[in-house]
Amino acid sequence: MLHSTVTSKGQTTIPEKIRKALRIKPGDKLEYAVDGDRATIRVHPGIRSLKGVLASNKGKRMSFAEIREAAAEAARVHEGTR
């Protein structure tokens, strides 16, 4: 089991193996969930998860509202796969 030390400011370094496994990059946002004495972290998908989602010819005649809805749907689908 990997571990890290918490500083007096409440900071810690995420071990390299964990960063690689979760594909954590500088600037990524992390989400935390606490259940009893356990905590779970996950990378918040953010806008990066939408990269390339609308990159097709079918989006060329979409209204702004349609593009927003398509992006929201893609984010919901992506959220379900994590």
30 located within any domain: yes
5 located within any domain: no
65 located within any domain: yes
72 located within any domain: yes
8 located within any domain: no
pLDDT of residue 58: 58
- Domain count across the chain: 1
Q: What is the pLDDT of residues 2-35, one digit of tens each?
A: 999 999 999 999 999 999 998 888 888 899 999 9
6 located within any domain: no
Q: What is the pLDDT of residues 24-67, one digit of tens each?
A: 888 888 999 999 999 999 888 776 666 666 666 555 677 778 87
- Please report the DSSP string for the chain in residue order: -------TTS--PPPHHHHHHTT--TT--EEEEEETTEEEEEE--TGGGGTTTT-SGGGGG--HHHHHHHHHHHHHHHHHT-
- Do 70 and 61 meet the contact criterion of CB atoms below 8 Å apart? no
- Do 2 and 12 meet the contact criterion of CB atoms below 8 Å apart? no
- Retrieve residue 37's tokens: 């004495």
pLDDT of residue 18: 92
The parent domain of residue 45 ranges over 16-80
